[in-house]
Structure 1
Amino acid sequence: MKLIEFECRGHRFAMPLDCVRRVVPGAMPTPLPGAPDIVLGALNLGGEILAVINFNRRIGVPFSGIDSSQFLLVSDLSDFPVGFVVDKVNGVIERDLSGATVLPERFAAGDFVEAVARLDDGLCVIIDPEQFLFDEEKSLLGDALEKVRHDDH
């Protein structure tokens, strides 16, 4: 499986490459009223409004704000585009996940952790972006984005 590998606060993660549309330099989003707490705001990217997601918050590591050295992994999540804020993009890797460890439910940080792959130089947490947001967060985010799109017209 082709994955895009990235880092957040020194931890390695990856998600399926086919989930990521592009990688763009970090940018400052504008507030998005009504969005869940995990959303940092909205960003107009080439005429498309996307929600900027605080990846750090979901994985439980400190977040000190977006800076110019970070990146957004632009992905389609359910019915809307999002940008995951990450510290570094390591590139595309090919991995056979049949040898990856599926985490027991009591150890998983959430349903968004698909597996942990043991690489030659450490571990990499494989993310399922479709499971990254909780259902209530998806609903709130969908409503907030719809309001922004409607207000723009």
Structure 2
Amino acid sequence: MGEEKKVIVFALGAEEYGVEVEKVRTIERMQPMTRVPKAPDFVKGVINLRGVVIPIINLRSRFGLEEQAISDASRIIIVSAGEFEVGLIVDSANDVIDLDTDNIDTPPEIVGGIKAKYLDGIARVGEERLLVLLNLEQVLNRDEILQLERLGE
């Protein structure tokens, strides 16, 4: 048996994704955002969270998926990307689970329309369930991180 890895499970449509617990700062309900001029389309704005300005990204837009109306289940997952924090809008945040690293496979080239560069792997959970693990460094590439850092200033 491999190492245990704790992940937060969230959903975009019918697909389940995971991000390592260590990279998640908090999970928040949706809240009003301030739009930022000239920001990339997937950047929905910024929020002031306990005195810190945090850029908010719609993961559906980032991955080129069809946008969906915000619902009561929608959440903002605040993650740390290197030196700063960013919020990810997801359809719902469901669970925290332990994964055995032996059950994590290299991702195929494309999963649910999302390019493999955004993925860390595919985890098998039980008999039926697959979980797509995100590579946050690629979801927010270096140039975009620099651009987002400027939004927060």
TM-score category by the smaller chain?
A: 0.7 to 0.9
Pick aligned residue for 1:119 from 120, 125, 145: 125
Matched, 1:3 2:7: yes
Equivalents in 2 of 1:114, 1:25: separation in Å?
A: 26
- The answer to whether the 8 A contact 1:38-1:57 is kept is yes
CA RMSD of aligned residues (A): 1.7
Query: What is the match of residue 29 of structure 1?
Result: 33
* Structure 1 Cα separation of the partners of residues 32 and 11 of structure 2: 19
Q: 2:145 corresponds to which letter in structure 1?
A: K
Tell me, yes or no, if structure 1 residue 56 matches structure 2 residue 60. Answer: yes
Structure 1 segments unaligned to the other structure (5+ residues): 147-153
Give the secondary-structure state (helix, strand or coil) at the position aligned to 1:131. helix
Pick one of 130, 138, 141 that aligns with 1:131. Answer: 138
- Separation (CA, whole Å) in 2 of partners of 1:54 and 1:36: 11
Task: For 1:27, give the aligned amino acid.
Answer: Q
TM-score normalized by the length of structure 2: 0.85
Equivalent-residue separation in structure 1 for 2:12 and 2:147 (angstroms) = 25
**Higher strand proportion (structure 1 or 2):** 2
CA 1:136–1:65: 2 relative to 1, 3 Å:
farther
Tell me which stretches of 4 or more aligned residues in structure 1 moved more than 6 Å. Answer: none
Q: CA deviation at 1:110?
A: 4.2
Q: Write the letter of the residue equivalent to 2:81.
A: L
Aligned: 1:77 with 2:89 = no
Question: How many pairs align?
Answer: 145
* Counterpart-to-counterpart distance in 1, 2:56 and 2:146: 15
Match of 1:150 in 2: none
2:102 to 63, 81, 98: 98
Task: Say if 1:40 and 1:52, in contact at 8 Å, map to a contact too.
Answer: yes
